[in-house]
Structure 1
Amino acid sequence: MAIINCPQCAKPISDKHKQCPHCECQVKELNEEQLQSMQREQRIRKQQRYMNQSFLALILFLGGFFCLYFMHPEAKSLQWYGYTGAMAVGFIWYLVSRIVLIVLKKKK
């Protein structure tokens, strides 16, 4: 008995199961073409999720930058720390999500 990933929901299941207990996908009835199609759709959904995260991170970074640039908060004040923190978190989040996207594209 081996543990495999469900082609539809990617959760671990036994290779003896006829259908996935999580999403009820009929695993035994799928041919190779259907399996590849499901895996491709799953990879695309994952890429879209990370793309959305990178856009949110970019918005956070730009929001912090524009607030810092246009509002001119006093140095070392609570607002200044908030805007700089938003910029730092947004920038790091953006970089990490883009690196994950690059890795996902190379796995094809």
Structure 2
Amino acid sequence: MAITNCPACSKPISDKAQVCPHCSLNMGGASPEDIQRKLSMERFQKLHRIQNQSMMAILIFIVGIYFVFMGDFPDTEKGVLMYNIAVGVAALGFIWYAVNRVRITLAKRS
């Protein structure tokens, strides 16, 4: 029994396995078109997940910016803390969005 790589997901599997445990590819009846179709679908799903994360990052950024500019923070220690949290949330959303844009670019290249 040898370990080989699955032709669809490239993860290690047994050469005696009939179905890949990682991607559920039927090893016996998989044509090159089936493998290409599976790879294309996985790539699409990965891009879709990253785009969803980008939208969530934009939403977090907008909420943070809203509270920075529209929040009526008192001039107390608690108000300064609330303002700093709002700025932190906006910065976190922006950074997360920028990272996801880089991830999308790299995923489209590969």
TM-score range, shorter chain: 0.7 to 0.9
Q: What is the letter of the counterpart of residue 55 of structure 2?
A: F
Query: Aligned pair in 2 of structure 1 residues 23, 103: CA closer, same or farther (>3 Å)?
Result: closer
State the Cα distance separating 1:18 from its structure 2 match: 2.0
User: How much is the aligned-residue C-alpha RMSD, in angstroms?
Assistant: 2.2
Greater than 4 Å deviation, 4+ residue runs:
none
Alpha-carbon contact 1:13-1:20 (below 8 Å) kept: no
Query: Aligned pair in 2 of structure 1 residues 87, 39: CA closer, same or farther (>3 Å)?
Result: same
Per-residue CA distance 1:39-61 (angstroms, 9 max, x = gap) = 00000000000000000001001
Number of residue-to-residue matches in the alignment: 105
State the Cα distance separating 1:65 from its structure 2 match: 0.3
Q: What is the letter of the counterpart of residue 13 of structure 1?
A: P
Per-residue CA distance 1:74-104 (angstroms, 9 max, x = gap) = 5771211110110111011000001000111
Query: Aligned pair in 2 of structure 1 residues 33, 65: CA closer, same or farther (>3 Å)?
Result: same
Query: Aligned pair in 2 of structure 1 residues 64, 32: CA closer, same or farther (>3 Å)?
Result: same
SS at match of 2:12: strand
Q: Percent same amino acid at aligned positions?
A: 25
TM-score (norm 1): 0.83
- Unaligned stretches of 5+ residues in structure 2: none
Query: Aligned pair in 2 of structure 1 residues 66, 5: CA closer, same or farther (>3 Å)?
Result: farther
In the TM superposition, 1:13-52 aligns within 5 A as: 13-14=12-13, 16=15, 17-22=17-22, 24-52=24-52
Query: Aligned pair in 2 of structure 1 residues 11, 89: CA closer, same or farther (>3 Å)?
Result: farther
Q: Distance in 2 between matches of 1:92 and 1:3?
A: 39
Alpha-carbon contact 1:54-1:98 (below 8 Å) kept: yes
